Structure 1
């Protein structure tokens, strides 16, 4: 296995371990906390993420990864700048926590915001070390650190929820996870010297960070805006419902996209430096992403009701139409994880910011208007906004890589056929469930088997390129297994 394949394998182990913890914690917490209590957590989490995105790209992961010749002074300057901004933001959150709670007319937010502000003192340390490990493709170390953090989040959140801590349970759980992550990364990296203060490379960092952080802020704010709008216009119960619908819709991101995200930027930068054709790399990548994402989203949309009933419980069944609308809309984002890395790789981080400014402000206005009509209208607005955003991003990438609509259609045609084949298999199981011939659990199990068989059949019938990559991955695992057994025997 080459370094990229090994990195993806370790990243997959990291994300899938975290995903198991997420499923278990969510299933338990959904039965211990009400939608309104989840709404408080969702709003505080949204505020924290929007603010964090505003400073993390000043010397954050993307700067440290894309820097061709990274010196110790670059790393120290990046950490110093990030820590200074982060510390100031933590202080401001403590000062204005009361004002923010009044803005959303929820006094309960004050204590939650103050607790969440403590995370900002840890993020510069964990963010800097994580970026260095990603740059060096040390995803095995990252996997261990992230899994330890995930265990802490799950145990503390569930334990406090059972003790009656309400919406504060997942907030303190998140803080506990960040403490464990920071300590684990410090032990794994074993070079605290990179965290010494310095500002010698500050100018270069700010130059990159202005564009990169602009892209990050506007995209993060857009992703979290529905929850903030619903909290201000409707109520926290609506926020809780929408937040849970988003969590289910984004399971594919947790399964696949978040596995690839840590690897995409360093891998594309490496291919650019090696002189590879980025157009071919991009078109190959969207073939692989679309044939995995589209069938998965179709499956979730068709099987939303049994999935929610079994995973979250009957209290949350009203999010079924939200999940279906969001699944259909998210099919437009098959190439979203590639957009920023590709534009950075071709030296056009400025275009990434421009494309965001073109597509996201109109989308925000549509979401704001939909908020006055209820949570289902907000979910339905994604059918307009997400395809528009995808079209703008692909247009900018196409200008640099020199491809057009015909190239996209040719690259995606086989994925369309595989998705249709998978959808037919799942739809037949839905028909059996609606006829009363299958229970929700039996129907979900049968639909999962049918989807897997039909998906594989679609790959074979179309000769999809993913087959070649799957065969390579299986062969690589087969080569690793004997070495793993030998190492265990030696121990």
Structure 2
């Protein structure tokens, strides 16, 4: 039975999800710079390229079937078992394909030296896919507290393993061991948390009933994967593994605030939207509010990284990476541009509109691949990142149009309301960048530049939000009061 969806349920699960992502990416905030100081850009690049192939085949192998379980009105165990065995079968096939054709895959990505890693990392595919069903069960039950606990535990284990092996001089194997240890711990934790145990039963008819929706989800995820991973492939093929390593390290760091907020909300909002069957107005209001709230928190983080990228790269990654600060700044800028689109994927998935999700993903993938390729071939890594920003700006417009049209919202008014916090963040970031340029000579220390820029950005953005988002702040305050009211009444009656 699906849980009742109300403000308390949503906020509690968002809280747990944010705590999970904050903890796991907090670990990355600490471990990535440390590993970057111990390992070389080429070692980062080799693992990043190998992981790209594994992620792609894992996504194809799932075929979106586990995601379909979240939309089911009832938890039909025959369907659940059928999806598990279908996933395992596909995972075995994909793992075998990767193992046998590791060298052609590595050559296609411009990293023939990574073939040996691909054979080993092929084992990650069944490990990851076997956990998809258990995660979907937690999601439809809105039990994100359990998912949060095991996410943190698995990431902690992986971080400890990676740092320990890196310090012992294991090089690239430290990163490989991190991936395997985290995946195994998370797999065991998900099965323990759900109490799910696979049964030797499967129904092709049940699988067939999920295929229309799941194929749309799979298609969109394939093209979303191309969108997110094609810059690394383009950089690796045209500019070499050293630039690929610089891109990978900068991308990992710039993704931390994005994924803390975005991944946490997407995981919770998908089952929330899916439970709002036949409640178009409620779903529409939830979309607009969640998009505004997500943008108001996410945009200043991303544009803030752009503003302080130069001192941040030196302080966090060290002198050997200092020249890559424009890459870090531009990657953060490209992600900040997309912040108003942060809730669109869970909305379309929850509304059952996988067809819209698919064609939007196709257009975005073509834009990103073409733009980054043009920049890399004409003027190197920094130019490629500039063109990535251009592609994302175009994506913001047509993606918003597609979603607001689906939702029945006027395009221009919807775009203005959801993008307003981003515009405020842009103003803040430009002001901070100007401030740092002015104090560079008088405050040459990078640590102090980072501190001053961060504090100034927080103050400027806070004041601007108070001026521009008073209506949203009043609405959020009222929601908090409404959430506390039942609890206060219960305490008074007792």
TM-score by length of 1: 0.90
Residue 414 (structure 1) shift = 4.6
Do 2:36 and 2:317's aligned partners in 1 also have CA atoms closer than 8 Å?
yes
Match of 1:442 in 2: 448
The question of 1:289 aligning with 2:294 is answered: yes
Distance 1:223 1:106, change over 3 A: closer
2:423 & 2:338 partners in 1: Cα distance?
Answer: 18
Whole-angstrom CA distance in 1 between matches of 2:108 and 2:419: 48
Structure 2 gaps, min length 5: 1-6, 489-494
- The 8 Å contact of residues 8 and 483 in structure 2, kept in 1 or not, is answered as no
1:305 aligns with 2:310: yes
1:388 pairs with 391, 394, 402, which one? Answer: 394
1:71 to 76, 81, 88: 76
Aligned residues: 481
| CA–CA separation in structure 1 for the residues paired with 2:90 and 2:83 | 11
Q: Report the counterpart of residue 372 of structure 1 in structure 2.
A: 377
| Cα distance in 2 between the residues matched to 1:343 and 1:306 | 39
2:401 touches 2:411 (CA, 8 Å); kept in 1?
Answer: no
**Contact 1:233 1:372 (C-alpha < 8 Å) held by counterparts:** yes
Q: Match for residue 9 of structure 1? A: 15
Q: Select between 86-95 and 328-337 the one with higher mean Cα deviation.
A: 328-337
- Correspondence 1:192 to 2:197: yes
Q: Deviations over 1:254-312 (max 9, x none)?
A: 23111211101011122344453433332223322222222222211110011111111
After the TM superposition, which residues 235-314 of structure 1 pair with which residues of structure 2 at under 5 Å, given as runs?
235-314=240-319
CA distance in 2, matches of 1:14, 1:65: 20
CA contact (8 A) 1:57 1:63 kept: no
* Cα pair 1:44 1:112 within 8 Å, conserved: yes
Number of the residue aligned with 2:3:
none
Question: What do residues 437-460 of structure 1 show as CA deviations (whole Å, max 9, x unaligned)?
Answer: 362212222222222222222222
Q: Does 1:96 align with 2:101?
A: yes
CA distance in 2, matches of 1:323, 1:242: 8
Aligned mates of 2:434, 2:237 — CA distance in 1 = 42
TM-aligned CA distance change 1:32 to 1:93, over 3 Å: same
Q: Report the counterpart of residue 219 of structure 2 in structure 1.
A: 214
- Distance in 1 (CA, whole Å) between partners of 2:149 and 2:377 is 44
Unaligned runs of 5+ in 1: 483-491
Judge conservation of contact 1:97–1:113 (CA < 8 Å) in 2: yes
Per-residue CA shift, 1:17-55, capped at 9, x if unaligned? 101211121021001111111100110111111222212
Deviates more, 1:169-178 or 1:351-360: 351-360
* Residue of structure 2 in register with 1:453 after alignment: 459
Map of 1:290-439 to 2, 5 A cutoff? 290-373=295-378, 374-412=380-418, 414-415=420-421, 418-419=424-425, 422-423=428-429, 426-427=432-433, 429-437=435-443, 439=445
Match of 1:20 among 11, 19, 26: 26
Aligned partner (choices 158, 169, 172) of residue 167 of structure 1: 172
Residue 226 of structure 1 pairs with residue 231 of structure 2: yes
Cα deviation code 1:379-401 (max 9, x no counterpart)? 11112211222222222212222
